[in-house]
Structure 1
Amino acid sequence: MIDLAPWLIGLAIVALIWWRAMGARTAARRAAQAACEEAEVSFIDELAFKRIGLTRDSRGAWRVMRRYGFEFYRRGDRRYAGTIEMHGQRVARVYMGPRPV
């Protein structure tokens, strides 16, 4: 039984990391949808993982930074790109590229 303990602990750590990543992705998706709604454009139902790294948040604490990309459109004729930057589980930045008014 003791030989199994390190494997179970390792599996629990991997599950926790995965669970936190899915929570960050869900928060990023909600932020993208809200930003598109506010800008009066249509969110395309895709969120693409772009980058992961370490960064400092506004208080100077180290956080896992995840960057997601998404697309949106105004009238359906052309797609435009946007990005969401997450610091841990918190939305740090939403950027929506140039688009027609």
Structure 2
Amino acid sequence: MFEFFPWLIALAVMALFWWQSLGARWAARRAALAACENAEVTFIDELAFQRIWLGRGTLKRRYRFEFYRRGDRRYSGYVDMHGQRVAHIEMEPYPV
């Protein structure tokens, strides 16, 4: 019975990481949609995971997204997440 215990712990850790990643992605998507709505531009694509790194006791993730102003050109932006919290949103300059 105890030979399966390390596998169960590894499986639980992987499930926890997956669950937290989904939560961070949904929070980043809501933040990107809100930023696009506030800037009066159209959110085009779903978020694309760009990178993950370890920060002061938390995982940091960056998600990229695209938007357009008039439909002639796509612009990009990104959302930085620190754990489940939105840390920074930046959008490429676009014509007004």
Instruction: Please give the range of the TM-score, normalised by the shorter of the 2 chains.
Output: over 0.9
Find the counterpart in structure 1 of residue 84 from structure 2. 89
Task: List structure 1 segments (4+ residues) > 6 angstroms apart after TM superposition.
Answer: none
Give 1:66's aligned amino acid: R
What is the CA distance between 1:63 and its match in structure 2?
1.9
Find the counterpart in structure 2 of residue 18 from structure 1. 18
Find the counterpart in structure 2 of residue 28 from structure 1. 28
What CA distance in whole angstroms lies between the structure 1 residues aligned with 2:84 and 2:49? 15
Find the counterpart in structure 1 of residue 39 from structure 2. 39
What CA distance in whole angstroms lies between the structure 1 residues aligned with 2:45 and 2:78? 14
The share of aligned pairs that are identical, in percent, is 67
Find the counterpart in structure 2 of residue 70 from structure 1. 65
Which structure shows the higher strand fraction? 1
What CA distance in whole angstroms lies between the structure 2 residues aligned with 1:46 and 1:80? 14
What secondary structure sits across from 2:2 in the alignment? coil
Matched, 1:79 2:46: no
Matched, 1:7 2:2: no
What is the CA distance between 1:55 and its match in structure 2?
2.3
Matched residue pairs, number?
96
Which structure shows the higher helix fraction? 2
Find the counterpart in structure 1 of residue 93 from structure 2. 98
* Unmatched runs of 5 consecutive residues or more in structure 1: 57-61
What CA distance in whole angstroms lies between the structure 1 residues aligned with 2:26 and 2:44? 15
Find the counterpart in structure 2 of residue 52 from structure 1. 52
* Unmatched runs of 5 consecutive residues or more in structure 2: none
What secondary structure sits across from 2:70 in the alignment? coil
After TM superposition, the score normalised by the length of structure 1 is: 0.91
After TM superposition, the score normalised by the length of structure 2 is: 0.95
